[in-house]
Chain A
Amino acid sequence: AQSVTQPDIHITVSEGASLELRCNYSYGATPYLFWYVQSPGQGLQLLLKYFSGDTLVQGIKGFEAEFKRSQSSFNLRKPSVHWSDAAEYFCAVGANTGNQFYFGTGTSLTVIP
């Protein structure tokens, strides 16, 4: 069965510190992988996506993610967190048919001064 696991429900980091949000997936075919961010009162926004090719993908707002097939992971990273990064982050997996996307339960990020 297809699923996405985000093991960390809530993470707190200091502004300027590095960040890594974990995502593990279970998918029967070659996965298409996504990270979305949901800021308070706003809709989800796509940060980055992986379809094929280079396993390290760059996204908006200075985020990057690395696809590791052997670990079934697609962790999100940022070298230096800004206060404005405080939000809910969702990992998702989908098929190239586009008919369904499976989302994780999200990781809430708090950034402290």
Chain B
Amino acid sequence: GAGVSQSPSNKVTEKGKDVELRCDPISGHTALYWYRQRLGQGLEFLIYFQGNSAPDKSGLPSDRFSAERTGESVSTLTIQRTQQEDSAVYLCASGGKGLKLFFGSGTQLSVL
């Protein structure tokens, strides 16, 4: 596709379950970011991938959060043993030259 695609668009899960969120970046974009947006708050940086370099995981809030990306392709964000405070919109963005980010529409995660 022409833009960044995220799936699912909505996810409702029970506390304690694991969830996996997917991001398809724009083809050719070497950079990929995950952000979390809680209701009424700004974007919180989670993790950054750049090509085949080691990812910058400095924003991951706990060891329940992990993300993978193979090369310059799809990325998955996994949250294990979800908690209610994990409820948020999870945004993925990919970037090419010029530090311009292209964002997906996000995954709305609701933990009951």
Residues of chain A at the chain B interface (Cβ within 8 Å): 4, 6, 32, 34, 36, 41-46, 49, 51, 90, 92, 94, 96, 98-106
Are A100 and B99 neighbours in the complex by a CB distance under 8 Å? Answer: no
Known: A34-B99, A45-B103, A101-B33. 4 other contacts (CB 8 A): A42-B105, A43-B4, A46-B100, A49-B100
Are A44 and B93 neighbours in the complex by a CB distance under 8 Å? Answer: yes
Are A105 and B42 neighbours in the complex by a CB distance under 8 Å? Answer: yes
Residues of chain B at the chain A interface (Cβ within 8 Å): 3-4, 31, 33, 35, 40-43, 45, 48, 50, 56, 58-59, 91, 93, 95, 98-106
Are B43 and A46 neighbours in the complex by a CB distance under 8 Å? Answer: no
A49 contacts across to B, CB distance below 8 A: 98-100
Q: A102-B45, A104-B42 are known contacts. Are A41 and B105 too (CB-CB below 8 A)?
A: yes
Are B95 and A98 neighbours in the complex by a CB distance under 8 Å? Answer: yes
Q: A43-B105, A105-B42 are known contacts. Are A96 and B48 too (CB-CB below 8 A)?
A: no
Are B99 and A96 neighbours in the complex by a CB distance under 8 Å? Answer: yes
Are B101 and A90 neighbours in the complex by a CB distance under 8 Å? Answer: no
Q: A42-B105, A43-B3, A43-B103 are known contacts. Are A98 and B31 too (CB-CB below 8 A)?
A: yes
B105 contacts across to A, CB distance below 8 A: 41-43
Are A103 and B42 neighbours in the complex by a CB distance under 8 Å? Answer: yes
B100 contacts across to A, CB distance below 8 A: 46, 49
Are B45 and A101 neighbours in the complex by a CB distance under 8 Å? Answer: yes
B58 contacts across to A, CB distance below 8 A: 100
A6 contacts across to B, CB distance below 8 A: 42
17 residue pairs of the A-B complex, CB under 8 angstroms, read A43-B103, A43-B105, A44-B101, A45-B103, A46-B100, A46-B101, A90-B43, A92-B43, A98-B50, A98-B95, A98-B99, A99-B56, A100-B58, A101-B43, A105-B41, A105-B42, A106-B42
